[in-house]
């Protein structure tokens, strides 16, 4: 192009549209950052266009232009939280070899994530309390993200079984239930009760779960009562 030639009008307009789109994405990201912070402290239900406008210094109409409704804002926050959870927990963990190394990495990174959220709160857990009995798109989005994470854990457990790292009769869903229970207990004791050592107890609990599903010692099958030790009679009543 000659030095004195001017860009074609269409090229100028295209650059302008690209610049506006980039600015719009940056603004949306800023709003989502603020919304995540609010949702962590106030809950998903506590999100409002007005509260975000106040925090970000924008007008309510400006916030509305990026999301269209409070419900869409809530769903966008859930998706953003899930993407960050995947980036911090899931993606690094799946770099580990399949089987127990990967399963351990998933749990360890999950624990580390919860540990950083003790003061702010986990949206997966707090959101479940808020929307457990409130059907609708927000609940569906939240449950879908949690189920996606559970699916990844279930696959990791099943791969550990297939590779012989866990007993062949391991019930993957039962093991997942027990592991998730450790996370819920950790969140409850560390955040609500402020119990010292809750993180260490969660790790200890995980090791016991692993031990149970890798031991070759005989144990009762489902529905079968465990053998009882002979009573010393100390606690017997007449």
Tell whether 26 is covered by a domain. Answer: yes
Share of the chain above pLDDT 90, in %: 61
Query: Does 235 have pLDDT greater than 60?
Result: no
Tell whether 1 is covered by a domain. Answer: no
pLDDT tens digit sequence for 61-71: 888 888 888 99
pLDDT tens digit sequence for 75-91: 999 999 999 999 999 99
Tell whether 3 is covered by a domain. Answer: no
Q: Long-range contacts of range 211-214, CB-CB < 8 Å, 24 or more positions apart?
A: 213/166, 213/167, 213/170, 213/175, 214/165, 214/166, 214/167
- Looking at residue 15, what is its pLDDT? 55
- Find out whether 137 and 75 touch, Cβ atoms under 8 Å: yes
Tell whether 105 is covered by a domain. Answer: yes
- Looking at residue 159, what is its pLDDT? 97
**Burial status of residue 88 (CB atoms within 10 A of its CB: 0-12, 13-18, 19 or more):** middle
Residue 195 DSSP symbol:
-
Residue predicted with more confidence, 40 or 223: 40
How far is the C-alpha of 214 from the C-alpha of 166, rounded, in Å? 5
Query: Does 2 have pLDDT greater than 80?
Result: no
- Looking at residue 35, what is its pLDDT? 92
Given phi > 0 = left and psi -120 to 50 = alpha, else beta, which region is 59?
beta
- Looking at residue 96, what is its pLDDT? 97
Domain count along the chain: 1
pLDDT bucket at 216, cuts 50 / 70 / 90: low
Domain extent at residue 136 = 9-214
Tell whether 235 is covered by a domain. Answer: no
> Which residue, chain included where needed, has tokens 């779960």?
209
**Burial status of residue 186 (CB atoms within 10 A of its CB: 0-12, 13-18, 19 or more):** buried
Tell whether 48 is covered by a domain. Answer: yes
DSSP3 helix / strand / coil % (the chain, rounded to 5) = 70, 0, 30
pLDDT tens digit sequence for 143-198: 999 999 999 999 999 999 999 999 999 999 999 999 999 999 999 999 999 999 99
- Looking at residue 68, what is its pLDDT? 86
- Looking at residue 22, what is its pLDDT? 56
Query: Does 237 have pLDDT greater than 50?
Result: no
- Looking at residue 34, what is its pLDDT? 92
Tell whether 69 is covered by a domain. Answer: yes
Query: Does 142 have pLDDT greater than 90?
Result: yes
pLDDT, the chain, mean? 85
pLDDT bucket at 6, cuts 50 / 70 / 90: low
Phi and psi at 201, nearest 5°, equal -65, -35
Buried b (16+ CB within 10 A) or exposed e, 116-138: ebbeebbbbbbbeebbeeeeeeb
Domain of 67: which CATH number? 1.10.357.10
**26-48: average pLDDT:** 89
Tell whether 226 is covered by a domain. Answer: no
Residue predicted with more confidence, 47 or 176: 176
- Looking at residue 102, what is its pLDDT? 97
pLDDT bucket at 27, cuts 50 / 70 / 90: confident
Query: Does 123 have pLDDT greater than 60?
Result: yes
pLDDT bucket at 228, cuts 50 / 70 / 90: very low
């Amino acid at each position: 192009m000659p030095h004195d030639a001017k860009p074609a009008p269409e090229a100028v307009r295209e650059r302008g549209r690209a610049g506006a789109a980039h600015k719009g994405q940056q603004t949306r990201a800023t709003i989502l950052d603020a919304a995540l912070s609010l949702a962590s402290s106030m809950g998903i239900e506590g999100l409002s266009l007005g509260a975000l406008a106040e925090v970000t210094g924008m007008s309510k109409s400006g916030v509305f232009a990026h999301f269209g409704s409070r419900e869409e804002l809530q769903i966008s926050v859930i998706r953003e939280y899930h993407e960050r959870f995947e980036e911090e927990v899931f993606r690094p963990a799946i770099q580990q070899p399949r089987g127990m190394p990967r399963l351990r990495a998933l749990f360890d990174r999950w624990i580390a994530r919860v540990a950083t959220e003790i003061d702010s709160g986990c949206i997966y857990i707090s959101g479940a309390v808020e929307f457990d009995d409130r059907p609708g798109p927000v609940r569906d989005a939240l449950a879908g993200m949690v189920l996606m994470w559970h699916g990844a854990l279930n696959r990791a457990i099943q791969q550990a079984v297939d590779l012989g790292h866990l007993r062949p009769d391991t019930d993957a869903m039962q093991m997942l239930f027990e592991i998730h229970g450790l996370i819920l207990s950790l969140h409850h004791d560390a955040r609500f009760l402020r119990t010292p050592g809750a993180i260490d107890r969660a790790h200890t609990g995980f090791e016991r779960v692993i031990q149970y599903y890798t031991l070759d010692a005989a144990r009762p099958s489902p529905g079968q009562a465990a053998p009882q030790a002979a009573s010393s009679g100390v606690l017997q009543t007449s």
